[in-house]
Amino acid sequence: MERENRRTEIPEYTRRLAAIQWQDLPPKVQRQAKRCLKDILATSAGSAVLPAPRQALPLIESQYGSGTIPLWFRGRSSSRVGAAFFNAFAVDCLDCHDGFRLTKGHAGATVVPVAVGIAAETRCTGAELLTAIALGYEIACRAGLALHQIYAPAVHSSGAWAALGAAAAGAKLLQVPAERLDPLLGVAEYYAPVSPIMRCTEYPCAVKDGAAGGAWAAAHALTMDACALAGLPSLFADEAAGREQIATLGDDWMILRQYFKPYPTCRWTHPAVEAVWHLQAAHRFPHECVASIVVETFGAALTLVTEHPRDPDEAQYSMPWAVAAALVDGCLGVGQVHPDRLSDPTIRALAQRVKMVRADDIDRRFPAECLARVTVTLDDGRCWTHPAVPARGDYVAPLTDEDMNVKLDSLVEPALGYAFCRHVSAEFDALEQSSVEGLLELLHANVDAMSEKCSCLDAPILP
């Protein structure tokens, strides 16, 4: 009987999900939704100078064909599923997008591409798009917490749980009625990738954090619902952990606990990068004199071992490369993970002198905290240790709006030029008061046709 009730009853959370509108969102949530959208689109623009998104275009064209939804900054369009996959893939190609530490992953790289794609179909208002994005983050983060509780100790990629948030965001814009929402999310969950993310951190490649697979699953779930193909109960209806997480929807806003990344490498590298910079600023040593760098951190970060990355994916998932490049160049931006930089002999030599050690005191604080302690030893024997430092941009010490604008400029301008960057900023400033038409027009731009671009190698994201 209990099983039958779960198939026929409409879960209460779906009524709340269907009812919430822009004016119901607290002002902090409204602001954060804009920050999240800006961060994802800026990251996509930054990734446009990397080879993988361009390599994915023939796949999209051959398998999904043309359509009406823009492939961001490529001057082309595809179907709902094709655009969702490509745009999420492009965001995931540059590890610079926002994240949620408690799920060890990222909601936005999957949620935003699907939401913006459906916005292109519905021609909704900016406020409606931002509302859908905010709710998509809420569903995704709760799904991630529940999924990892259910399947512990396994850790799945972000796409495994963000697919539910992406489906929820799309359903919100399509005005799917409450009685169809949970089965729709159930399909997204069912088709989402159950991908072993820790294997990918150890052997990095283009699949990254599964954002594209999650977006694909969400787009398919939305389309199956439109075709009256019935789904099954989601984890929010059928699992105790899911019901517990969804109970606070609309009261506890998890979108407010996202972090924003100042550097385009795995979040787990950031504390070490910060620590080594602090030591260099305090003691003014040249990188040429460094004999060794020891990074004490949590166990999961020890998978980021690649010393000599062969491509941007390996560079972004490499602790030695991130620390060495940051110390040699004095910055850590797209240029430091670009193929043109990966053969640099100075960075490669220093990366070989970076060693990682698991520290019990730091490991116990992960994932609630992301910390690293760094010891630098010079050739002359001098040695300094920086105490455990957190990653910059966490929600307890967030990047400022000015920081976010600098980040957007540093990612968009090298790929698309100064004038275009100014158009993007202006569009964001008034998005909640306008339609999505202006935003969609910008997303139709073609990075290969834009002029007045500068080199990504000269554009650090944040100092």
Domains of the chain: 2-257 (1.10.4100.10), 267-390 (3.30.1330.120)
Length of the chain: 463
Q: With contact defined as beta carbons under 8 Å apart, do 82 and 111 qualify?
A: no
Classified as helix, coil or strand, 124 is coil
Q: What is the pLDDT of residues 275-286, one digit of tens each?
A: 999 999 999 999
Q: Which two tokens stand for residue 308?
A: 């000599």
Query: Which residues, at least 6 apart from 234, have a Cβ–Cβ distance to it below 8 Å?
Result: 164, 182, 183, 185, 186, 188, 189, 242
What's the pLDDT score for residue 337?
A: 97
pLDDT, the chain, mean: 94
Q: Tell me how far the alpha carbon of residue 128 is from its chain's centroid.
A: 22
Q: How many C-beta atoms lie closer than 10 Å to residue 100's C-beta?
A: 25
Closest CA to 421 of 140, 93, 61, 45: 45
pLDDT value at residue 66: 94
The secondary structure of 67-101 as a DSSP string is -SEEETTBTEEE-HHHHHHHHHHHHHHSS-S-BBG
The mean-pLDDT minimum among 4-8, 102-106, 157-161, 358-362 falls in 4-8
User: Exposed/middle/buried for 237, CB within 10 Å: 0-12, 13-18, 19+?
Assistant: buried
346-361 mean pLDDT: 98
CA gap 131, 252 in Å, rounded = 15
Question: Per-residue pLDDT tens for 298-341?
Answer: 999 999 999 899 999 999 999 999 999 999 999 999 999 999 99
Tens-place pLDDT, residues 188-227: 999 999 899 889 888 999 999 999 999 999 999 999 999 9
CA-based nearest residue to 398, from 26, 39, 7? 39
Beta bridge partners of 171: none
Q: How confident is the model at residue 453 (pLDDT cuts 50, 70, 90)?
A: low
Tokens of 318: 């490499």
Instruction: Judge whether 262 and 97 are in contact, CB under 8 Å.
Output: no
Residue 416 main-chain phi, psi, to 5 deg = -125, -5
pLDDT at 1: 47
Q: Is it true that the peptide bond before 177 is cis, omega within 30 degrees of 0?
A: no
Given a cut of 90, is residue 452 above it in pLDDT? no
User: What is the reported pTM?
Assistant: 0.94
144, two tokens: 């991630």
Residue 429 banded pLDDT, cuts 50, 70, 90:
confident
**Residue of higher predicted confidence among 5 and 129:** 129
Three-state SS for 271? helix
The pLDDT-based confidence of 449 (bands split at 50, 70, 90) is confident
Q: Is the pLDDT reported for residue 182 higher than 90? A: yes
Among 2-6, 377-381, 431-435, the range scoring the smallest mean pLDDT is: 2-6
User: What 3-state class would DSSP assign to 379?
Assistant: coil
